[in-house]
Amino acid sequence: MNQKTNQHTKTFGIVGFPLSHSLSPLIHNSIYRDRGIDASYLVFETPELNSETIRNFRDSGVLGLSVTIPHKEKAFALADKADDASAIMKASNTLLIGPDSINAHNTDGEGAYRSILEWSSESLQKGKTVILGSGGSARGIAYSLATSGKIKDLILCSRNETTGNEICALIAEHTNVKTEYVTPDEIINRSEEVALVVHTTPLGMKGQSPGPFLPGEFFTSSMTLFDIVYNPLETPLVTAAKKNGAKIIPGSEMLLYQAMKQFELFTGISPNTEDVIKTRERLSHALANR
């Protein structure tokens, strides 16, 4: 960490690797400016997150961190206290750094759930929900959807069978939702059961392997796809699903809503409708110019 922080200005930031694509500084710094809050949000690109890194953040006066790939499980492990979503699913995307303790929160699930409710709430009840991937984001999203009371069946589809089964077991243990792990090869033949697909892996992200995770022919016009990758906004998976008539929820919506919750955790101020609208416009503008 080589950034010095101002003693009076509250300092927050994002930690992950890589971070060149991150739009989180735009979101948070813009709201601080709009609201007249004396705070700044910095980028801390680091391949490692450990107790020494956290100590350095605390010594430098950093009060809160957004946590992204690949540190979400590690962030939870480093915390002294955690919210339910973090504690049950063992992954966090937000750390509040106090003088004596680290508090972990997971706003991924809430961000995804709010996006789905706003864009395609009917898809939650038309058929089964499939989550593609079994990393940190998949954990938070699986928890929020399973505890929402809106879904009965959740299929977890990932290449990593161990983590896929672990997520299913955690959801089954803590909710009434019926869970099932399937491989990417097995899911292909079950598209008629599926109403909503949530893609949570980095496939298709700028600088990552393009994918897509599933072939275009999997998708139908009765399905909704929510690919949480937002850069580029139209990933190969989105292109393939669109071609087959599937409804699309933009990945930037999850970024928007999970950041609104983080802003509230960091500052203690609840974002209002105007904050949401302005942030959506800024994201849309920034993504259109990439």
What are the binding residues for shikimate?
22-24, 68, 93, 108, 230, 258
Catalytic site residue 278? no
Binding site per annotation, positions: 22-24, 68, 84, 93, 108, 133-137, 228, 230, 251, 258
The phi and psi torsions of 223 (rounded to 5 degrees) equal: -105, 155
The phi and psi torsions of 59 (rounded to 5 degrees) equal: -60, -30
For residue 251, the 8-state DSSP code is T
State the catalytic residue, choosing from 72, 74, 90, 128: 72
Cis peptide before 250 (omega within 30 of 0): no
Binding site per annotation, positions for NADP(+): 84, 133-137, 228, 251
38, 10 contact by CB (below 8 A): yes
* Positions marked active-site: 72
